[in-house]
Amino acid sequence: MPKTATRAGARHQINFDLNTWLDARSAATNTALDRFLPSEKTKPATIHKAMRYSIFAGGKRMRPALTLAAAEACGGTEADALPLACAVECIHTYSLIHDDLPAMDNDDFRRGKPTNHKVFGEGIAVLAGDALLTQAFEITSLAKGWPRYSHRDLVLEVAKASGSLQLIAGQVADLEGEGQKLSVAELRYIHERKTSALLCCAARLGGMSANCTPAQLQALTDFGYHVGLAFQVIDDILDVTQTSEQLGKTAGKDIAAQKATYPSIVGLEKSRKIAQQLTAKAFAALKPFKGRAAALEALAHYLLTRDK
Ligand code: GRG
């Protein structure tokens, strides 16, 4: 992991050991998820096996990391942020299971393993996704409420990001855009909803778990929005530059499905520039934290330079 990152165009020394930080946060997230999800033996065992199969298939845990890093930046604790980090990961994993179904992207591999429906069949995969979505709300209800952020606020935050105006809207536009020539503005509409909404929600929930100030919440919103957009531009780039083995999912899917992407509309070089510009805006959003957002900075840099 490089320890320097570009902040708003200038070389900026971060001196932050993200690998060690991420290993510890991923381990804490996995332990908490293991506690929140019913065991594989709980009846009906098939559905709990299917939920756990995808949750523990080896995702990068970037959304929980954003929640925990945002909580740290606002002076919060890991214990208070963990339920919300797990809730976001449940929503994310549900969306991947459904996205991989034959009725959607029809993918055989995810997180380096056969997709949920390949192992458990389509019916159980649909239900495993549904159950993880529902589980996310149960976990959210178990998080601590605060003077500034009640349980109602937390539930609303998760519901809005995953509902028909955000995550689902992005997926609808993505499906309807297949085979169409889209403008950059139309592509950004998809990215804002399909990807950025949940990353932004992850960062905001971290702040909310720390009873952050309205100014801090606004900074996390700006940060999450731009990091989320950069994340999807990089995802589009990796789809054409990496192998399926490296990605743990089928590479080259966007071209095969005739999906509009940044590389297909503006080319690879310009796409890389756009991802850098978006990341610079994310760094700029962290100004109010005055150096207390080292983990968030390191994460934004990692998301820009990742190779899988
Ligand atoms: C309701 C039927 C139904 C389906 C919902 C909302 C939805 C389907 C799908 C979401 C769309 C989607 C998959 C967006 C892409 C976001 C993205 C780039 C995901 C990959 O995230 P990573 O790289 O994955 O963080 P890991 O596996 O590392 O967690």
Q: Would you say residue 214 lies in a domain?
A: yes
| Tens of pLDDT, residues 175-198 | 999 999 999 999 999 999 999 999
Tell me, yes or no, whether 6 lies in a domain.
Answer: no
Write down the H helix ranges in 178-213. 184-191, 197-208
Domain assignment present for 7: no
Strands 109-110 and 113-114, how do they pair?
Answer: antiparallel
Position 10 in a domain:
no
Question: For residue 6, what pLDDT band results from cuts at 50, 70 and 90?
Answer: very low
pLDDT, one tens digit per residue, over 7-34 is 333 344 467 999 999 999 999 999 999 9
What's the mean pLDDT in 83-92? Answer: 98
Tell me the pTM: 0.94
* pLDDT value at residue 5: 42
Domain range for 143 is 16-305
Q: Which of 28-42, 56-70, 149-163, 235-249 has the lowest mean pLDDT?
A: 235-249
Query: Which residues, at least 6 apart from 186, have a Cβ–Cβ distance to it below 8 Å?
Result: 173, 177, 260
The answer to the question of residue 32 being in a domain is yes
Cα separation, 159 vs 152, in Å, equals 10
- Of 100, 98, 59, 94, the C-alpha closest to 257 is 100
How many of the other CB atoms lie within 10 Å of CB of 77?
A: 13
Task: Give the binding-site residues of ligand 1, using a 6 Å CB cut-off.
Answer: 59-60, 62, 92, 95-96, 98-99, 111, 167-168, 171, 194-195, 232, 235
Given its phi and psi angles, is residue 106 left (phi above 0), alpha (psi -120 to 50 degrees) or beta?
left
- The verdict on residue 4 lying in a domain is no
d(CA 67, CA 130): 23
Q: Among 25, 195, 231, 308, name the best residue to mutate to test ligand 1's pocket (greatest count of ligand atoms within 8 A of Cβ).
A: 195
- State the pLDDT at residue 14: 62
| Residue range 58-64: mean pLDDT, rounded | 97
Nearest CA to ligand 1 atom 12: 194
Q: How many domains are there within the chain?
A: 1
For residue 122, tell me if it sits in a domain. Answer: yes
Most distant CA pair in the chain: distance in Å?
55
- Give CA–CA dist 275/260, Å, rounded: 16
CA neighbor of 295 nearest in space, from 147, 141, 78: 78
Kindly report the CATH number assigned to the domain that includes residue 184: 1.10.600.10
On average, the pLDDT of the chain sits at: 94
Residue 1 has pLDDT above 50, yes or no: no
Q: What is the pLDDT of residues 130-176, one digit of tens each?
A: 999 999 999 999 999 999 999 999 999 999 999 999 999 999 999 99
Q: Assess if residue 2 is contained within a domain.
A: no
Residue of minimum CA distance from atom 29 in ligand 1: 59
The atom number, within ligand 1, closest to the CA of 93 reads 29
- The answer to whether 227 and 303 are in contact (CB under 8 A) is yes
What is the pLDDT confidence band of residue 291, given thresholds at 50, 70 and 90? confident
